[in-house]
Amino acid sequence: MLKQLLTEGERYLMTAFHLLDFSEQGLYDVVANLGSLAARFLFQPVEKNAYVYFSRTVERGKPVSAAAGRVLHDLLRAMSLLGLVAVTFGWSYPPPLLLRLYGGALLAAGPAVSLLRAQCAYVLLLAVNGVLECYTFAVMRQEQINGYNRKMVLLSVIFVISTGIFTRLFGGVGFILANCVNMLTRIYVCYRFVAGLPLEPAVSVPPLLGLRPPPAVAAALVTAGLLAAGSESWLYPSSAAAHVAVGALCGAAVVAAAVYSELRLLQAVRERVGDKLKRS
């Protein structure tokens, strides 16, 4: 119940306290539905399969094994990179282009742009939190789960307070900012828990280092974000095709940097997909 409040609590608060008028609620629902596509079709299947894997392979109360640590590292790396890509390109491309396709020029020129940009940051936090939480719940003992639930009570209070403050200051964007605060606190709790777990001697790379992008990828993402923002300012909407072309080139550069830096991760994904296809 508490997790449901922390995940979708803004809708209950929006209805109960009328924090937004009907037009703002409509815009928020449009953006929330668009932003939830990644969670429904990509993040949830990954989290479900990851939880099944960890619950079957990890022994509660035992040090983190090399195999489980590597899988957690790879999942964190993959999901954080996907989230960083969403933030990098989500600032300059989905707001004007996706909203124009979805609802026309009026929607693409209004406050929905700011809402969708904020939603991209929330997607990054959602991606990271999902993996950390599924591992945390897979390895926690019952008394630790009880302690986590007590912390969730405090997190729900923080969420309600931050929602009230941020919506008064920023309107609909405040709901997304409150969700970001909620997700950051949940990530912090799980991060602290995972960081405190003992590691087997065979674990060569701490799993949480998966949250740190390789230098080449980080540089490519920063450069791509700056170029995309500049392209939006200089080329869009007068030269939308040129703006899209700049984004395509930046995206290709990010993909190239990721492939160069993550050959081992790509090989691991290829092997797991191949194993799954063989079993099916």
pLDDT per residue, tens digit, the chain (280 aa), is 555 555 555 666 665 556 666 677 777 777 777 777 777 788 889 999 999 999 988 888 888 999 899 999 999 999 999 999 999 998 888 666 666 666 556 566 667 788 888 888 999 999 999 999 999 999 998 899 899 988 888 888 888 888 888 988 888 888 899 999 999 999 999 999 999 999 998 888 899 999 999 999 999 999 999 999 999 889 887 888 899 899 999 999 999 999 888 877 777 666 665 565 455 5
Token code pair at residue 33: 């539905």
Rounded CA separation 42/254 (Å): 20
Q: Please, what's the b/e burial string for 186-223 (b: 16 or more CB within 10 A of its CB; e: otherwise)?
A: bbebbbebbeebeeeeebeeebbebbebbeebeebbee
* Cβ neighbours for 150, distance < 8 A, ≥ 6 positions apart: none
Token code pair at residue 14: 């929006």
Helix (H, G, I), strand (E, B) or coil at 140: coil
pLDDT tens across 15-43, in order?
555 666 667 777 777 777 777 777 778 88
Calculate the alpha carbon distances from 23 to 16, 137, 275 in Å: 16, 39, 49
Token code pair at residue 1: 């119940």
Rounded CA separation 149/156 (Å): 11
Nearest to 29 by CA among 103, 97, 88, 91: 103
Instruction: State the pTM of this model.
Output: 0.84
The pLDDT value given to residue 41: 84
Rounded CA separation 256/135 (Å): 30
Q: Per-domain residue ranges for the chain?
A: 2-207, 213-280
